[in-house]
Amino acid sequence: MSRTRVKVVLNRESVREQLLHNRQLLDEVQSQVEGMANVHPAIKVYRNTDRERGNIVATIPMSVEDAHRGLLTDMLSKVRI
């Protein structure tokens, strides 16, 4: 069997509309992050929707992050799409 290289080119505008502004996808990610954020009351989660993309933001004070090293990274690594 011969190997053929394939180049995939994404249409930036389509990706922006279908993924980065996908309400259902953002709702799912926000729900997961908010559920995990319940481990500490200092963790705040909000949705940021600007002109180019929508995203879910989780913030944590450095004192909490220092006390629980890697908490935010661990939370975000568990998000599944």
Q: Is residue 1 part of a domain?
A: no
Q: Is residue 7 part of a domain?
A: no
Q: Is residue 42 part of a domain?
A: yes
Instruction: Return d(Cα 61, Cα 12) in angstroms, integer.
Output: 34
Q: How many domains does the chain have?
A: 1
State the pTM of this model: 0.69
Rg, Å, the chain Cα set: 17
Per the structure, the complete domain to which residue 54 belongs is given by: 12-77
> What pLDDT was estimated at residue 35?
92
Average pLDDT of adjacent 10-residue blocks, the chain of 81 residues: 78 77 87 90 86 81 84 83 77
Q: Is residue 59 part of a domain?
A: yes
